Structure 1
Amino acid sequence: MGDNSSIMPIGEGIVRSFFLTLGLLLIYAVITSFTDTNAKFDSVYKVVITALGVMYGTMYAVKKINKKGWLVGLVVALIYMIIIYLVSVLNGRGFALTNFSILRIVLALGVGTLSGMLGVNI
């Protein structure tokens, strides 16, 4: 993974992750504009879209690189979550990490690693 041929697919995977996340957030915004949702549903939805975004970006990058799937998945998930965290900070949430955000990061890293392993073997 140290060569430059691995950097572009990882970047493309992260960009694709964000487009999927953006699309799912738009769907969620439409749904919540017509219905009332509770905080528990919001939390579950955030975890699900994070996992789907990481999974999609990882599978894309691993299919392009075709080696070291777990490492590629871990890198994609880590960069994705760092960017999500920085966007949250810029949005006014502050630098504090809650138990939920730590759980979300750990789950994203796990999903990225497992998706990478799965992507290499499919």
Structure 2
Amino acid sequence: MEVVEATIDDFDSEKINFYQRRKNKKLGTPIEEIVPEYLEKIGFLKRFNGRKTPTIGVEIENLGKQQRTRNPLIAKILFEMDYFDEWGQGINKMRHLMKDAKLPEPVFEEIGDEFKVTLFGPGEDF
């Protein structure tokens, strides 16, 4: 099996989403510390402090089809700083990277006031 290597930059859209949603940076471990090559899966969990998710009117089944941002000002600044190169393509980029690596599609879940993204790796086949 040919594996497409993903660098930490491939996860930047998730990091941007953490900042845009004013996520407490002290929750959990920094992404750079939880992406060792041997992982079978990696999960990103976002808490919305009691608000129903997603709070911007995009339903889970429409992720990647509808793009909206919670904080347009921060998103615009990060875009103009070349922190990301395509507007609103993080979900689609994750899906394409997983498909290109012949890995399962990411799983998006709404659990109470949390939004969870799970990316599955090749496990022992790495």
Task: Tell me, yes or no, whether TM beats 0.5.
Answer: no
Bigger proportion of residues as strand: 2
Bigger proportion of residues as helix: 1
Q: How does the TM-score come out when normalised to structure 2? A: 0.28
Q: How does the TM-score come out when normalised to structure 1? A: 0.28
